[in-house]
């Protein structure tokens, strides 16, 4: 299977010839705060087996707002592993608080200016033309030389993380609007200052709910952002330089205003501690790299001809510039760049909705591992009365190891040894305790983790993906990978970056013990993959290194250099191998005792490579002297033979010794050793990070259910991983300067990825074993793991096109197979679900952005020059284009096939999105008897409701028609239309200009005519329905209490105007008093008031029901028109305990029991 690798270009943020420190784009970032970074794991790849992850969460509370918004408060755990450089969130390592709401910006190049669209578009076109001309021209391009460093042509990336939506968006300067990926109905409205910079955001969803980020639109003057004050970059030479300018790239959710005028506010607290000096500051290793020439010319030629004056290069040779870093390449010097950011972090403090408040209390004790505070408690309150408290019980990883591990990284972190030690402990969530309003313990969750000692965040003991691998002997991060150097192979670094499962599992969640007598245990394993997906297909052989077949025969050698086996006296050598695809190979041979004037005759060795064609070996190439060339090997099997032809003097020949030979094949391509067993082909690659291997459910420590997962498939007797790697870590930029490679140690920067998994699996098999009846249930899930990339005509040999983001298309479930286990242990397929996806409204902008990197300056002329300063140079540029890709992907067809012994039943559903917007137009269901049901939907656009469109109320179905078809007959089963006002003049049912339903119209099938089902006559200021009238002409009035949050009375037969306002105020005031006091006496006073209301003589002709509540717990009593009251009683954990008749001591109607462990 094909493997591809990303070879990324680097942006040189500042090309300062006079400075010794070379800069690139990966050195100039400010790490995100831990909480924001942990949320990034959930942005575009939700919890799914397609990424080997499962949903592990502790629910705290769900705050209901209206029919389409509720805010869940959960503690979520990331089962995909913990990177060495990762900082624990305020909840604990691996955990995070479910997202409230953030908009985060990743600056590309410079911060975008949205007042300069014409300049931006003109610059893009000019840059493109200049780059294409410059790549082949002989003259220096004036525009590029003047603007390459100063013009920002890379659009910034934004990420929205909300409790109910996650997506990215970019600003398209050609259309002058933000474009979401994927496309959706959401409106993004920024506030710009006079300089064209974003101040805050307003986002409106498709139901007309508005989310405010940074700042509200009312008299609330708070400005809630995470302020990145400064960032200092420090090299291992102790060279300090300023990093980013003060700016904010994270806007926090401050308010939600719903379409029915409900308001939720979010408040934050400062969560940063100033460090007194550098040794106490939070430091990140942001870059590690070194330069290596790829030929001898670097040492003996043009790159070495340079002198230095006051630390600056003076050109003597024909290349410029030559930095001190390049000059020190001979010594193999490793360069480290550290970042010491100063960030004014925030932590959620309160969520307030009506009388409900959720309070988040940070610890009063500073964290040991980071300059901030942990989240200590979460309190749920109603009318300022405590309902319950959740206590987060914290500790630290590594405290059980008083002696630090012998980590060579410590002494190689230079001036940051104190910071290295501070980064050893990691915040740990040991459990969560739940307390009632009297502070009595109700329940407790306990967490257990895989044991072992974890390294410092600054440790070099990392695999290629940044996870712990136990190799504490590493003195650098640049891996021990080979590259071709002249006619030999050279190692770039010394670090062992191998993936090691036992070490990467240390500190991972192993067991949850619940308040009940049950527990859940987790086991993990490392990711695997079979192929890599990238738009720039650069094929690789084995993980992160050039595949090399290397054979060396010394004189009189008598053993196979690869296997160590003894060779026969004639010293013939053979080696078999196979290329799984067409491969270009750098072939190098050096043969001793060669007669150059007559190659092939009387040479020490003749080397022949055979290729198997139709089962027979045929000569592919013959080598009898020293060669160095590129040879194209078609896919197939090959055999190398080496035969010594020249005899020694003792053997009657001309030479004292037999001579030897060296052969090296270097190639970028997957190679399989044909002796490898089929069950474990070499093409399966391990990758860092973890996937779920098994989940075990226990009760009283007795195993009840075990679920195991497999991510492989078997084809033709061979086992393959179904994993596809999306996004290859950057290891090297070849020819960063001409003839010079740049190797990287920090491959994956802390907190910069916006997704939690780079590997998506195409197939996952789940087998659950019920230990009680010894039965197995098997399911096979098939996912989309290789979304096709859009073709562009932009890529040429001179430049690259960056792979566009398309995470929303990956991981979609395509098929599920359900099996039952037979008595003989075999499985029988009983159901197959298949899903087909489609897309619409493709957006593909190839000129979306361009990254320009000036590299070499080529000497053009010295004519008339009296000193090197007068030489004429031409700058070579490397560049890549940013394409913008987006679409709306949807489930177009789902088919469910049920398999029985004697028949098969098929039910299929077709989803049709025929309109320009992103809402379902038609849903057609075909049943096993071939009958057809069709549901059609119409929205604001179809109904021409411009008022709703202006407020983005575009996802609300206004008309629903259900038809049933059998043969050629079509029957209308139902047709309903919800009528909304189309102009502000039509808003007659409320005084707050709320766009709310006016009526519901249905189709009378019997009489073939439309009829009014209900009219919605009145709403209050918070969008609560106060009066409606049915088609029978009977009105019903609803009285809202508890500060307009709960209905306390329903009067059937009465209009609101029929009820005295004083009577309404009496029961409303009693409900407010009950909400504020929350006592049995206040509730009884409300019941008494409601009974007086019910029994009022003016209501004798009406049917009245009344209700009381504990607003955050549930209904306390319901009294129907009959007057027989049901009383709902809750335990101290706010769980429904009993339903009694008439009073709390009345007859028990229903009883509920919960068996919880003490």
Q: pLDDT-derived band of residue 1078, with 50, 70 and 90 as boundaries?
A: confident
CA distance 113 to 945: 35
- Predicted model pTM: 0.82
pLDDT computed for residue 390 by the predictor = 97
pLDDT computed for residue 747 by the predictor = 64
To 10 degrees, the CA torsion angle through 282, 287, 288, 290? -150
pLDDT computed for residue 316 by the predictor = 45
| Segment among 706-715, 735-744, 850-859 with least mean pLDDT | 850-859
Q: What is the pLDDT of residues 133-163, one digit of tens each?
A: 554 444 446 667 767 667 777 888 899 999 9
- CA–CA distance from 601 to each of 595, 605, 759, 813 (Å)? 7, 10, 54, 64
- Kindly tell me the number of DSSP H helices and DSSP E strands found in the chain: 11, 68
- CA–CA distance from 651 to each of 557, 558, 658 (Å)? 16, 16, 10
Among candidate residues 225, 203, 229, 204, the one with its CA nearest the CA of residue 214: 225
For residues 1010-1029, give the mean pLDDT.
94
| Segment among 38-52, 346-360, 771-785, 991-1005 with least mean pLDDT | 38-52
Domains identified in the chain and CATH numbers: 25-538+689-886 (no CATH), 547-667 (2.60.120), 1034-1158 (no CATH)
pLDDT computed for residue 549 by the predictor = 59
Exposure letters 397-436 (e unless 16+ CB within 10 A, then b): bbeeeeeebebebbebbeebeebbebbbbbbbbebbbbbb
Best mean pLDDT range from 705-714, 1107-1116, 1131-1140: 705-714
- Predicted confidence (pLDDT) at residue 1158 exceeds the cutoff of 80: no
Percent of the chain with pLDDT over 90: 48
Residue 154 tokens read as: 């890379």
Q: What is the pLDDT of residues 838-850, one digit of tens each?
A: 999 988 887 788 8
Report DSSP state, residue 535.
S
pLDDT computed for residue 705 by the predictor = 92
| Segment among 72-86, 179-193, 613-627, 1107-1121 with least mean pLDDT | 613-627
What angle do the packed helices 1080-1094 and 1061-1077 form, to 10 degrees? Answer: 160
pLDDT computed for residue 706 by the predictor = 93
> Do 225 and 251 touch, CB atoms closer than 8 A?
yes
For residues 89-99, give the mean pLDDT.
95
- Predicted confidence (pLDDT) at residue 376 exceeds the cutoff of 90: yes
Q: Which residue has the tokens 């590259």?
A: 483
For residues 264-291, give the mean pLDDT.
91
pLDDT computed for residue 867 by the predictor = 73
- CA–CA distance from 948 to each of 607, 931, 987, 996 (Å)? 79, 36, 12, 10
pLDDT computed for residue 642 by the predictor = 77
Q: Which is more confident, 814 or 1004?
A: 814
Q: pLDDT-derived band of residue 456, with 50, 70 and 90 as boundaries?
A: very high
Coil, helix or strand at residue 873: strand
pLDDT computed for residue 881 by the predictor = 72
- Residue 1101: CB atoms within 10 A of its CB come to 8
For residues 1125-1154, give the mean pLDDT.
89
Coil, helix or strand at residue 324: helix
1042 HSE (CA, 13 A, CB side): 26
Beta strands in 913-1008 (DSSP E): 922-926, 932-938, 959-966, 969-979, 999-1004
pLDDT computed for residue 959 by the predictor = 96
- Predicted confidence (pLDDT) at residue 854 exceeds the cutoff of 90: no
Q: Which is more confident, 293 or 263?
A: 263
Q: What is the pLDDT of residues 919-956, one digit of tens each?
A: 999 999 999 999 999 999 999 999 999 999 999 999 99
Q: What is the pLDDT of residues 530-558, one digit of tens each?
A: 877 654 333 333 333 345 555 655 444 44
Measured in degrees and rounded to the nearest 5, phi and psi for residue 1071 equal: -70, -40
> Do 67 and 259 touch, CB atoms closer than 8 A?
no
| Segment among 53-67, 370-384, 674-688, 957-971 with least mean pLDDT | 674-688
Among candidate residues 345, 347, 342, the one with its CA nearest the CA of residue 283: 342
Give the bridge partners for 490, in sequence order.
Answer: 483
pLDDT computed for residue 487 by the predictor = 57
Exposure letters 131-166 (e unless 16+ CB within 10 A, then b): beebbeeeeebebbbebbeebbbbbbbbbbbbbebb
- CA–CA distance from 292 to each of 180, 316, 737, 744 (Å)? 41, 21, 10, 11
Best mean pLDDT range from 607-611, 641-645, 1150-1154: 607-611
Q: pLDDT-derived band of residue 315, with 50, 70 and 90 as boundaries?
A: very low
- Predicted confidence (pLDDT) at residue 480 exceeds the cutoff of 90: no
pLDDT computed for residue 38 by the predictor = 42
> Do 642 and 572 touch, CB atoms closer than 8 A?
yes
> What is the average pLDDT score of the chain?
81
CA distance 1049 to 1095: 13
pLDDT computed for residue 44 by the predictor = 37
CA distance 951 to 257: 12
Q: What is the pLDDT of residues 782-804, one digit of tens each?
A: 999 876 655 444 443 344 445 56
For residues 454-461, give the mean pLDDT.
96
Q: Which is more confident, 800 or 816?
A: 816
> Do 578 and 674 touch, CB atoms closer than 8 A?
yes
pLDDT computed for residue 1118 by the predictor = 94
Task: Return left, alpha or beta for 211; rule: phi > 0 is left, psi -120 to 50 is alpha, else beta.
Answer: beta
Q: Which residue has the tokens 């086991």?
A: 523
pLDDT computed for residue 140 by the predictor = 46
Beta strands in 273-326 (DSSP E): 284-293, 306-309, 312-315, 319-320
Q: What is the pLDDT of residues 332-358, one digit of tens each?
A: 788 888 888 888 999 999 999 999 999
Q: What is the pLDDT of residues 825-834, one digit of tens each?
A: 899 999 999 9
> Do 701 and 626 touch, CB atoms closer than 8 A?
no
Q: pLDDT-derived band of residue 7, with 50, 70 and 90 as boundaries?
A: very low
Q: Which is more confident, 160 or 653?
A: 160
- Predicted confidence (pLDDT) at residue 1157 exceeds the cutoff of 70: no
| Segment among 12-21, 159-168, 1034-1043 with least mean pLDDT | 12-21
Beta strands in 21-68 (DSSP E): 56-66
For residues 720-746, give the mean pLDDT.
79
CA distance 174 to 120: 9
CA–chain centroid gap for 187, Å, is 22
pLDDT computed for residue 1016 by the predictor = 97
Measured in degrees and rounded to the nearest 5, phi and psi for residue 38 equal: -65, -35
């Amino acid at each position: 299977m094909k493997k591809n690798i990303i070879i990324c270009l680097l942006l040189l943020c500042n090309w300062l010839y006079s400075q010794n420190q070379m800069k690139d784009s990966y050195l100039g970032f400010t790490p995100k705060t831990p909480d924001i970074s942990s949320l990034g794991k959930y942005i575009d790849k939700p919890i799914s087996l397609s990424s080997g992850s499962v949903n592990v969460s502790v629910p705290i509370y769900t705050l209901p707002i209206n029919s389409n918004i509720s805010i869940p408060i959960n503690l979520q755990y990331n089962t995909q592993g913990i990177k060495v450089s990762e900082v624990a969130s305020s909840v604990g390592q691996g955990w995070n608080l479910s997202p409230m709401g953030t908009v985060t910006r990743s600056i590309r190049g410079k911060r975008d200016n949205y007042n300069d669209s014409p300049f931006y578009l003109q610059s893009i076109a000019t840059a493109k033309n200049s780059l294409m001309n410059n790549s082949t021209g002989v003259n220096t391009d004036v525009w590029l030389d003047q603007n390459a460093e100063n013009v920002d042509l890379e659009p910034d990336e934004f990420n929205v993380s909300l409790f109910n939506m996650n997506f990215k968006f970019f600003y398209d300067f050609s259309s002058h609007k933000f474009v979401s990926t994927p496309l959706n109905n959401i409106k993004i409205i920024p506030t710009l200052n006079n300089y064209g910079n974003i101040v805050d955001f307003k986002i409106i969803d498709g139901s007309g709910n508005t989310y405010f980020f940074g700042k509200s639109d009312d008299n609330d003057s708070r400005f809630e952002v995470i302020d990145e004050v400064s960032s200092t970059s420090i090299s291992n030479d102790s060279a300090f330089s300023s990093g980013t300018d003060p700016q904010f790239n994270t806007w926090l959710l401050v308010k939600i205003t719903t379409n029915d005028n409900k308001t939720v506010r979010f408040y934050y607290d400062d969560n940063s501690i100033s460090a007194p000096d550098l040794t106490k500051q939070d430091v990140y290793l942001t870059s590690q790299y070194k330069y290596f020439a790829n030929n001898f010319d670097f040492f003996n030629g043009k790159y070495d001809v340079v002198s230095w004056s006051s630390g600056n290069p003076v050109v003597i040779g024909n290349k410029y510039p030559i930095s001190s870093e390049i000059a020190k390449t001979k010594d193999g010097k490793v360069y480290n760049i550290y970042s010491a950011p100063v960030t004014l972090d925030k932590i959620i403090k309160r969520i307030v909705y009506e009388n409900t408040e959720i309070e988040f209390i940070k610890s009063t004790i500073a964290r040991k591992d980071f300059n901030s505070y942990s989240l200590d408690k979460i309190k749920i309150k109603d009318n300022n009365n405590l309902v319950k408290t959740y206590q987060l019980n914290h500790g630290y990883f590594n405290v059980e190891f008083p002696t630090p591990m012998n980590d060579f990284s410590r002494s190689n972190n230079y001036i940051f040894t104190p910071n290295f030690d501070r980064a050893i402990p990691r915040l740990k969530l040991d459990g969560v305790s739940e307390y009632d309003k009297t502070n009595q313990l109700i329940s407790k969750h306990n967490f257990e983790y895989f044991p072992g000692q974890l390294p410092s965040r600054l440790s070099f003991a990392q695999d290629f993906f940044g996870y712990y691998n136990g190799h504490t002997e590493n003195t650098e991060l640049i891996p021990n990978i080979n590259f071709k150097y002249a006619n030999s192979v050279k190692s770039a670094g010394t670090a062992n970056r191998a993936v090691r499962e036992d070490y990467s599992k240390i500190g991972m969640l192993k067991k949850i013990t619940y308040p009940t007598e049950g527990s859940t245990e987790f086991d993990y394993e490392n990711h695997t993959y079979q192929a890599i997906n990238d738009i720039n297909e650069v094929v690789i052989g084995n993980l992160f290194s050039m595949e090399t077949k290397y054979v060396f025969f010394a004189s009189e050698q008598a053993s196979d250099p690869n296997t160590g086996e003894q060779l026969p006296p004639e010293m013939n050598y053979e080696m078999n191998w196979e290329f799984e695809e067409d491969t270009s190979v750098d072939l190098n041979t050096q043969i001793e005792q060669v007669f150059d004037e007559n190659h092939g005759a009387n040479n020490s060795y003749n080397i022949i490579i055979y290729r198997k064609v139709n089962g027979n070996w045929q000569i592919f190439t013959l080598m009898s002297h020293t060669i160095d060339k590129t040879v194209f090997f078609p896919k197939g099997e090959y055999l190398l033979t080496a035969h010594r032809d020249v005899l020694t003097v003792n053997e009657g020949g001309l030479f004292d010794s037999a001579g030897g030979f060296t052969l090296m094949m270097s190639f970028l391509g997957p190679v399989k050793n044909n002796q490898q067993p089929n069950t474990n082909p070499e093409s399966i690659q391990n990758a860092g990070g973890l996937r779920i291997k098994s989940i075990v459910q226990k009760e009283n420590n007795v195993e009840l259910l075990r679920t195991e997962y497999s991510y492989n498939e078997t084809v033709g007797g061979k086992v393959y991983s179904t994993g596809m790697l999306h996004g290859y870590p950057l290891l090297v930029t070849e020819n960063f300067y001409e003839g010079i490679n740049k190797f990287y140690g920090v491959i994956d920067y802390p907190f910069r990825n916006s997704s939690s998994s780079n590997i998506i699996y195409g197939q996952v098999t789940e087998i659950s074993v019920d230990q009680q009846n010894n039965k197995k249930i098997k399911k096979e899930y098939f996912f989309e793991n290789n979304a096709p990339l859009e073709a562009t005509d932009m890529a040429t040999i001179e430049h690259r096109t960056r792979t566009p983001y398309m995470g929303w298309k990956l991981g979609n479930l395509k098929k599920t197979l359900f099996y039952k286990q037979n008595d003989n242990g075999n499985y029988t397929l009983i159901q197959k679900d298949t899903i087909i996806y489609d897309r619409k409204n493709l957006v593909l902008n190839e000129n979306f952005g361009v990254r320009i990197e000036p590299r070499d300056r080529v000497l053009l002329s010295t004519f008339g020059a009296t000193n090197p300063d007068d030489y004429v140079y031409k700058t070579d540029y490397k560049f890549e284009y940013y394409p913008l890709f987006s679409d709306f992907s949807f489930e177009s067809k789902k088919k469910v096939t049920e398999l029985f012994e004697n028949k098969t039943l098929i039910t299929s559903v077709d989803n049709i999105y025929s309109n320009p917007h992103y809402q379902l137009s038609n849903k057609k269901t075909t049943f096993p008897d071939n009958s057809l049901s069709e549901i059609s939907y119409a929205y604001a656009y179809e109904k021409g409701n411009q008022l709703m469109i202006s407020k983005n109320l575009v996802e609300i179905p206004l008309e629903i028609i259900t038809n049933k078809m059998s043969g050629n007959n079509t029957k209308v089963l139902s047709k309903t239309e919800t009528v909304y006002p189309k102009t502000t003049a039509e808003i007659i049912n409320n005084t707050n200009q709320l766009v709310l339903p006016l009526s519901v119209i249905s189709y009378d099938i019997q009489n073939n005519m439309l009829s009014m089902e209900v009219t919605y006559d009145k709403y209050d200021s918070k969008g609560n329905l106060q009066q409606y009238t049915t088609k029978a002409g009977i009105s019903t009035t609803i009285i809202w209490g508890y500060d307009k949050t709960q209905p306390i009375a329903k009067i059937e037969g009465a209009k609101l105007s029929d009820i005295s306002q004083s009577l309404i105020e009496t029961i409303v005031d009693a409900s407010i008093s009950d909400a504020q006091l929350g006592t049995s006496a206040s509730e009884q006073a409300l019941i008494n008031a409601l009974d007086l209301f019910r029994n009022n003589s003016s209501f004798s002709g009406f049917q009245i029901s009344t209700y009381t509540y504990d607003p955050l717990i549930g209904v306390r009593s319901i009294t129907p028109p009959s007057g027989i009251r049901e009383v709902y009683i809750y335990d101290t954990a706010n769980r429904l305990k009993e339903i009694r008749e008439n009073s709390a001591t009345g007859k028990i109607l229903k009883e509920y029991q919960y068996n919880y462990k003490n």
